[in-house]
């Protein structure tokens, strides 16, 4: 059963010699300031729990209205903040919309405060000042000292349990605030209901239901304390109508059943006698019974240190599947990126397989683990392909989760942007089709017919985002969608993914239909202009059109100049449409070299000067494949130039080191692939398009037991160009390498040079896949 | 397995000849005006569904604040109203606090209105005028015409499915409003969240969660329509924060996933072609999956008429277990009372046994049906004993439900006033101990040790309603409870029930402890005054004490004069305490004959002049056993006088025919017992204390197959006195009859007279149980 044969000994040796080094090179604070929207807290790979400090999520006064700063605090943390509100258990990694921050704990001492206070007046509430000097963040572990209370906080997790260890100052009784009103995206009234039961003096159960970005998010919990509770109570900051039972019970003090809409509770302990308090917080989406099972299975009878070691071991194991050589900063960036690709998607089921489905019923997972947090507009590009390569079991289960989602959807839609048994349908396209097609193409154990049915059904929900018009007209007209042009481009690629899957399923009828739909990108191309351009229902193009303007021109998070290149499945068709190779190259070159006037990004929260290279915006995903498009032209060496520029400029081992939202690992996965020297331009095909390695050595250990090495001795900013390539010792002329090539194991050697080899990769037979070449 | 042996032929004959007549004699509108708080709609015996018109529940302007008239509309209906808002699926029967009214449907035509309008301006909303002339109400069936829309409405139910048949006017397209914002006790914000999925063009699923009297009430539903939906939409009367997906979907029209906090939806049908629309609404407390199972199991593939006949048959079967002779009004009152004893408690689980427990987890019932709506302060007295006698299987399962409730309670408390997996702890005592003791005493299949554990745990929850002080001091001091004196009396009786159960369990240690506690009634007796009187913690009695004042004197829903008689387990002890029999009789006599000045009830919503006999208040339960206390004295004939007075004055075949809230069948059960000539003064013992029959003939058919007849030829207001009694033909001198006497089958013959037989029942050996006589 052990599939690790060839690579086994090597892996053992590598692990023994370098694994500790790998985990130590991860720097979780990369991207925690500014736009990266990552968090520094503790989690295990793909765990349900992301236990991390929230430095602020409280509404701010904006034009007289208190509103949460929802964009900056997507992950609850900004490095430049000087106070910590508390430690909550669910965080999205690198997203551009905020939510979660569920079940916040905060240790305090002294006077009881049940409100969080504010940034400007921290003493008004229970929050505390802190210094980054006391902060330690490694995969699976986080530590900080809370200066206002002199409490040392240590955090670790299992997949479903967050573990806190608080060390209170000597001789002082400690308190824990459990704030069920706290949250990220925490507008007034987000919490619909919260409930706590004090089951005994060391165990709580409870839940809360929120109406946030996830329309209805049910989080159940079980919380155990290592010391008995001495005293407890709560305040509900919103009046409850019926409170007749207040006459029967001392409900505010030591009353074991607390409920309300704005419920903040506290628990006091005799830490004067025993300063260390360990708290285990198990979550479940199904029930408190499920949370108790999770607590029992994953964290009972193990101490904080033991669990922290386990969390660390899991990361060591996962991170050890890639070894690289580079400068310390490059290695930190690489392993941190790899780390960031394994946070979301996240497990979303109990240890016994029960999970909340999209229909809000509790289902029993059979034959797969259920996952959630699918930021698919971002992650179909490189995050899911990377997981398909390095973590095929998890990637396959993610696809199963998407298929079940589709089956539970009243619309019959695959996930678009889904989390916590809800879809918020953020961004555009139905890119789950890409992930399904890619998984099937790469041999995942998926029922192809079931998958194809889910894909076809999704693409025919005629009331969703212009699909009806798209089917009738061949494009989404500008009347029905403000992002009509980009959506049309995205649908066309997603339809190609269905076409591709239908071919695998031997379903010619569907294949033929979707082959047609995959060519719809042509319908919104203005050949006179040479760019994609939105059309009205009557066929006329939008007037007064600006190819450099991102918003208001029929595109989303990318202007026409960038987005017009979004035909990953038919680059040769696109080249023709753009007026031939010369014009195509001119547009590509100009994209990277133009001066983009400030007016095109000054009011845009997603684009700053720092994330621009010419007019190329790396912080937003639609451009991610563009530098690789040179591979289809006579000048593939230009890819080699530009990817290194992007790597150098957009990724830094620094708190502001990400040039945009990490987007659930997509930015990081781009980094991993590009560092290796190739990129999945068209997920669904088995091809990775060659660029140039960023690092001199990358060694992949696959789950099948094989190893694949990428070597580029002497590679540097200067020696960035590929002179020649050898695969397993033989000269290799193609502009791509296949999934199977990698899985077979072997060595891909790049001879690097400080001048481009302009002859390599220009033969037609060496070019990557393009749909219209099939005939 | 058929236990019906002896009585079987008789029952068949009786059923054939009189059963139809029985059901036709039920008059569901008794008590629907004023204080009865009954509802006229359709249900089946102990069903989860009570489908009934709500005539008003909308907040009214009270001192500038809009508040629901929560007391008058406990059952959603007041007969004097002239409009119907719609038809909702859950109603409590006869309670004194309001809640439920879940899942309201209303057929309309013409202009779309999504708000209910008001009593005064019905045209402003979707409600309709109606006339009682078009109303028909029989057990399991309700019919009315909605004048504003000319729509005929017919309603029936299964246990878990409400079935509506709407006949729209010829040539008019019909609409159904589904108002998930509507409710009883519907203060602003009661609904925490509501959701609807349009699964296909004839099926909806959904749920709502409310925070009402039940703190968190989860109701899931599945609704099928006999015709396809043509068109639908909704309005959420409260803004939702995140609505980014509004850009993706036409969410207000034909969008199959509707959610919100104040959600009112509509569905339109082609009733111009087919005027009849049948709607089946299945409920579940566990999930929409559960609701669908309930729909499938109980109502699929059966038409309205078929289901209406089934509902009627169930009532015929249940009602046929008692046959009486009397005047038409007496028979209507009797059968309606019997009907009212079989609405609450109600089934609270899915057909597959899944139910929501008090811990809000979904449990699987094993070996019992789970029930809810336990108004125990009321129903322990006669309702549960009546069910124990006539419906022992249901009564036993209710006890099982209470034990499971206790096991799921974080407090370890048996239910006090519980409904929908919540306890509101309304009123006082822990009277479930009485119901458990009674069931065990009468041979129900209950694990005695498990029951005893639940009872003992309950009675030791020291933070509940003064129990801690009660344990320490022997009484609840007035400092900790405004009802300290009555609560002490109630605890003492409940403790007797534990003592009694411990004896059955052979647990002498517990028995001895609770024998002591059962005598605690003595501790708050002021022997100088001759009445119960609240004491402070230091032992002193309350000053300025008024034995006639109901509120503010340490009692609840009864003044000291009434409540002092609440020692049902030790009447002889009470007589001694009150100063001997002479004084005891004086107080009893005076209770029924005094003039109670108006000041003692003018500001009391529970007491009106109509429900008084002297100072005796029948509308409130604490007095229900008092007329039977003469049985322990030398003047038992006075019971015979007063019970007939109460029957004549407090129960009328009329919309205002109930002298107080029916209280989930307690008022009705009192009527049934008293009509038969005996009453369970001290549930837990096997004795029913004799009064005098109200009707000349009552015939009971038990589940064991035996019949028991009570005959009182010639009984009348004049011939109200018992001259002699014969049991199975033999002279019978005792003042009680036992449960086993009844279950054995036979005949109890009363010879009635217009003068009292002052010699009957005065021998000590013929007296009913009294605790302190045991030694």
For residue B602, is pLDDT > 80? no
CB atoms A193 and B185 under 8 Å: no
For B111-167, the pLDDT digits (tens) are 999 999 988 899 999 999 999 999 999 999 999 999 999 999 999 999 999 999 999
Q: Is residue B754 assigned to a domain?
A: no
How far are the Cα atoms of A548, A551, A595, A613 from residue A600, in angstroms, in the given order?
Answer: 7, 9, 11, 14
Q: Which residues of A touch B463 (CB under 8 A)?
A: 249-250, 254-255
Distance CA A712, CA A720 (A): 10
Q: Which tens digits make up the pLDDT trace of B67-113?
A: 557 889 999 999 999 999 999 999 999 999 999 999 999 999 999 99
Rounded mean pLDDT of chain A?
Answer: 94
Nearest to B245 among A192, A249, A425 (CB): A425
pLDDT at A620: 86
Tell me the pLDDT tens digit for each residue of B248-282.
887 778 899 999 999 999 999 999 999 999 999 99
What is the 3-state composition of chain B as percent helix, strand, coil, each rounded to the nearest 5? 30, 25, 45
Q: State the best of B99, B221, B242 to mutate against chain A, taking most chain A CBs within 10 Å.
A: B242
The confidence score (pLDDT) of residue A251 equals 77
- How far apart CA B255 and CA A658 sit, in angstroms, is 39
Q: Which residue in chain B has the smallest CA separation from A290?
A: B361
Confidence class for position A4, pLDDT limits 50, 70, 90: very low
CB < 8 Å to B97, chain A: 244
Q: Is the pLDDT of residue A306 over 50?
A: yes
> Which residues are CB-contacts of A751 (< 8 A; sequence separation ≥ 6)?
A722, A723, A724, A725, A726
Q: Write out the H or E segment, with its range, that includes residue B513.
A: helix B508-518
Q: Give the Å distances, CA to CA, from A369 to A293, A336, A395, A703, B462.
A: 16, 25, 10, 18, 45
Confidence at residue A5, expressed as pLDDT on a 0 to 100 scale? 47
| pLDDT single digits (tens) A667-709 | 999 999 999 999 999 999 999 999 999 999 999 999 999 999 9
First to last CA, chain A: 42
Contact B254 A192 (CB under 8 A): no
Does B269 map to a domain? yes
Quick check: is A498 in a domain?
no
pLDDT at B279: 98
* A463 interaction partners in chain B (CB closer than 8 Å): 249-250, 254-255
Residues 6+ apart with CB under 8 A from B175: B107, B108, B109, B112, B266, B267, B268, B269
Does B216 contact A198 at a Cβ distance shorter than 8 Å?
no
The answer to whether the CB atoms of A245 and B411 lie below 8 A apart is no
Inter-chain touch B207–A359, beta carbons under 8 Å = no
Out of B213, B242, B411, name the one closest to residue A242 (CB).
B213
CB contact under 8 A, A215 and B256: no
At CA A486, angle to CA A480 and CA A489, rounded to 5? 110
CA dihedral B133→B137→B141→B142, nearest 10 degrees, is 40
d(CA A383, CA A699): 19
In chain B, which residues have their Cβ closer than 8 Å to the Cβ of A256?
410-411
Q: Which residues of B touch A205 (CB under 8 A)?
A: 359
Instruction: Residue B189: list chain A partners with CB under 8 A.
Output: 241
Which residue of A96, A410, A420, A556 to mutate against B (max B Cβ within 10 Å)?
A410
Shortest Cα–Cα distance, A286 to chain B (Å): 9
Residue A410: list chain B partners with CB under 8 A.
197-199, 256-257
Q: Over the stretch A29-45, which tens digit does the pLDDT of each residue have?
A: 999 998 999 999 999 99
Is residue A19 scored above 50 in pLDDT? no
Residue A340 near residue A94, CB atoms below 8 Å: yes
State residue A239's pLDDT score. Answer: 67
Q: Which residues of A touch B98 (CB under 8 A)?
A: none
Tens digits of residue pLDDT in A631-665: 999 999 999 999 999 999 999 999 999 988 999 99
pLDDT for the residue numbered B619: 86
Count of structural domains within chain A: 1
Using a CB-CB cut-off of 8 Å, the residues of chain B touching A242 are 185, 212-213, 215, 424
Name which residue leads in pLDDT, B467 or A11. Answer: B467
- Which positions in chain A touch B289 (Cβ < 8 Å)? 361
CA distance B468 to chain A (A): 11
Instruction: Return the closest-CA partner of residue A97 out of A566, A418, A421.
Output: A418
Q: What is the pLDDT of residue A637?
A: 98
Of the candidates B195, B212, B465, the beta carbon closest to that of A242 is on B212
β-partners of residue B240 are: none
| Nearest-CB residue to A244 (from B192, B424, B482) | B424
B275/B268 Cα distance (integer angstroms): 12
pLDDT of residue A64: 56
Q: Give the pLDDT band of residue B635 (cuts 50, 70, 90).
A: very high
Instruction: Assess if residue A484 is contained within a domain.
Output: no
Task: Among A185, A192, A411, select the one facing B193 at the smallest CB separation.
Answer: A192
What's the pLDDT score for residue A3?
43
Structural domain contains residue B10: no
Contact A750, A710 (CB under 8 A): yes
The pLDDT, as a whole number, for residue A47 is 98
User: Which range among B252-266, B546-560, B696-710 has the greatest average pLDDT?
Assistant: B696-710
C-beta atoms of B463 and A192 within 8 A: no
Contact B260, B236 (CB under 8 A): yes
Q: What is the CATH number of the domain that holds A175?
A: 2.70.98.10
Mean pLDDT across the stretch A713-721?
98
Alpha helices in A257-382 (DSSP H): 288-299, 304-319, 328-340, 376-379
The answer to whether the Cβ–Cβ distance between A244 and B426 falls below 8 Å is yes
The answer to whether residue A704 sits within a structural domain is: no
Nearest CA in chain B to A356: B287
Q: Please provide residue A268's backbone torsions phi and psi, each rounded to the nearest 5 degrees.
A: -115, 145
Domain membership of residue A86 as a residue range? 38-316
**Is A69 a residue whose pLDDT tops 90?**
no
> A361 and B288 in contact by Cβ < 8 A?
yes
B761: left (phi over 0), alpha (psi -120 to 50) or beta: left
Among chain A residues, CA nearest to B423: A245
Nearest CA in chain A to B254: A463
B209 → closest Cβ in A193, A213, A361: A193
Q: Which of B193, B213, B481 lies at the smallest CB-CB distance from A216?
A: B193
Answer whether B425 sits within 8 Å of A361, measured CB to CB.
no
- The rounded distance, in Å, linking the Cα atoms of A396 and A401 is 9
- Over residues A546-560, the pLDDT tens digits come to 999 988 999 999 999
Min CA distance, B361 vs chain A (Å)? 6
Chain B positions in Cβ-Cβ contact with residue A98 (cut-off 8 Å): none
A484 → chain B, closest CA residue: B248
Dihedral sign computed on CA atoms, order A93, A99, A102, A104: positive
Residue of B70, B215, B287 to mutate when probing chain A, most A C-beta within 10 A:
B215
Average pLDDT value for chain B = 94
Of A198, A249, A482, the CB nearest to B464: A249
Report the residue of chain B nearest A192, measured CA to CA: B192
pLDDT for the residue numbered B69: 76
pLDDT confidence band for A1 (50 / 70 / 90): very low
**pLDDT over threshold 50, residue B2:** no
Mean pLDDT of A497-523: 98
Q: What is the pLDDT of residue B5?
A: 47
* pTM as predicted: 0.95
**Does residue B264 form part of some domain?**
yes
> By the 8 A CB rule, do A772 and A572 touch?
yes
Give residue-wise pLDDT tens across range A192-241.
999 999 999 999 999 999 999 999 999 999 999 999 999 999 988 776 66
Residue A20 reports pLDDT greater than 70: no
For B385-414, how does the pLDDT look when each residue is reduced to its tens digit (9 = 90+)? 999 999 999 999 999 999 999 999 999 999
- Cα-flanking dihedrals φ and ψ of residue B418, to 5°? -120, 145
B642 lies in a domain? no
pLDDT of residue A775: 52
Query: How many A-B residue pairs are in contact by the CB < 8 A criterion?
Result: 126
Q: Do the chains contact at B411 and A193, CB–CB below 8 Å?
A: no
ipTM for the whole complex? 0.94
| Alpha-carbon distance A28 to nearest alpha carbon in chain B (angstroms) | 30
- With a pLDDT cut of 90, the percent of chain A lying above it is 87
Residue B14 has pLDDT above 60, yes or no: no
Cβ of B464 within 8 Å of Cβ of A211? The answer is no
């Amino acid at each position: 059963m052990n599939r690790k044969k060839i690579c086994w000994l090597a892996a053992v040796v590598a692990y023994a010699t370098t694994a500790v080094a790998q985990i130590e090179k991860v720097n979780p604070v990369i991207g925690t300031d500014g736009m990266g929207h990552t968090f520094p807290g503790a989690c295990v790979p793909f765990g349900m729990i992301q236990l991390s400090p929230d430095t602020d999520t409280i509404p701010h006064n904006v034009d007289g209205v208190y509103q949460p700063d929802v964009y900056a605090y997507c992950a609850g943390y900004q490095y430049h903040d000087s106070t910590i509100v508390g430690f909550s258990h669910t965080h999205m990694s690198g997203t551009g919309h905020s939510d979660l921050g569920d079940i916040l704990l905060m240790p305090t001492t002294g006077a009881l405060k049940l409100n969080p206070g504010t940034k400007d007046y921290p003493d008004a509430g229970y929050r505390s000042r802190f210094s980054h000097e006391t902060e330690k963040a490694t995969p699976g572990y986080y530590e900080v000292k809370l200066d206002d209370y002199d409490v040392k906080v240590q955090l670790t997790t299992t997949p479903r349990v967050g573990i806190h260890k608080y060390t209170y100052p000597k001789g002082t009784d400690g308190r824990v605030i459990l704030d069920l009103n706290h949250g990220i995206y925490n507008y007034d009234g987000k919490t619909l209901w919260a409930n706590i039961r004090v089951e005994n003096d060391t165990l709580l159960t409870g839940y809360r239901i929120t109406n946030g970005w996830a329309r209805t998010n049910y989080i159940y919990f079980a919380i155990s304390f290592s010391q008995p509770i001495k005293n407890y109570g709560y305040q509900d900051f919103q009046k409850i109508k019926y409170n007749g039972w207040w006459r029967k019970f001392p409900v505010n003090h030591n009353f074991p059943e607390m409920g309300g809409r704005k419920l903040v509770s506290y628990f006091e302990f005799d830490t004067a006698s025993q300063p260390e308090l360990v708290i285990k917080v198990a979550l479940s989406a199904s029930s408190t019974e499920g949370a108790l099972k999770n607590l029992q299975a994953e964290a009972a009878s193990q101490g904080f240190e033991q669990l922290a070691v386990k969390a660390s071991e899991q990361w060591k194991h996962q991170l050890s599947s890639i070894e690289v050589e580079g400068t310390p900063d490059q290695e930190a960036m690489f392993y941190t990126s790899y780390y960031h690709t394994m946070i979301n998607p996240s497990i979303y089921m109990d240890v016994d397989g029960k999970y909340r489905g999209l229909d809000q019923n509790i289902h029993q997972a059979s034959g797969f683990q259920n996952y959630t947090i699918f930021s698919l507009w971002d992650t179909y590009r490189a995050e899911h392909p990377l997981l398909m390569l390095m973590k095929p079991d998890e990637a396959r289960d993610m696809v199963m989760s998407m298929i079940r989602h589709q089956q539970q959807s009243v619309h019959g839609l695959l996930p678009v942007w889904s989390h916590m048994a809800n879809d918020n349908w953020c961004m555009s396209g139905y890119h789950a089709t890409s992930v399904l097609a890619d998984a099937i193409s790469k041999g995942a154990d998926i029922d192809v017919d079931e998958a194809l049915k889910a894909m076809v059904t999704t693409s025919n929900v005629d009331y969703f985002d212009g699909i009806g018009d798209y089917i009738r007209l061949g494009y989404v007209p500008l009347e029905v969608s403000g992002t009509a042009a980009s959506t049309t481009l995205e649908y066309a690629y997603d339809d190609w993914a269905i076409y591709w899957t239908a071919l695998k399923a031997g379903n010619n009828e569907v294949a033929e239909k979707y082959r047609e739909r995959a060519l719809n990108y042509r319908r919104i191309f203005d050949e006179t202009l040479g760019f994609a351009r939105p059309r009205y229902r009557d066929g006329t193009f939008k007037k007064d059109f600006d190819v450099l303007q991102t918003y208001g021109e029929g595109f989303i998070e990318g202007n026409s100049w960038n987005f017009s290149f979004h035909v990953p499945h038919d680059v040769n068709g696109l080249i023709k449409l753009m007026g031939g190779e010369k014009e195509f190259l001119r547009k590509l070159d100009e994209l990277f070299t133009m001066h983009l006037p400030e007016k095109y990004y000054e009011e845009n929260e997603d684009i700053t000067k720092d994330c621009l290279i010419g007019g190329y915006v790396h912080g937003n995903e639609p451009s991610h494949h563009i530098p690789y498009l040179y591979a289809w032209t006579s000048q593939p060496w230009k890819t080699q130039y530009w990817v290194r520029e992007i790597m150098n400029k957009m990724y830094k081992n620094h708190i502001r080191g990400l040039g945009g939202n990490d987007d659930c690992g997509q930015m990081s996965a781009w980094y991993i692939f590009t560092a290796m020297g190739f990129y999945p331009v068209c997920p669904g095909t088995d091809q990775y398009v060659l660029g140039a390695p960023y690092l001199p050595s990358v060694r992949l250990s696959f789950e099948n037991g094989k190893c694949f090495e990428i070597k580029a001795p002497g590679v540097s900013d200067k020696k960035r160009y590929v002179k020649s390539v050898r695969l397993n010792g033989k000269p290799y002329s193609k502009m791509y390498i296949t999934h199977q090539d990698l899985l077979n194991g072997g060595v891909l050697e790049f001879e690097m040079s400080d001048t481009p080899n302009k002859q390599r990769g220009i033969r037609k037979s060496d070019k990557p896949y393009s749909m219209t070449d099939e005939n």
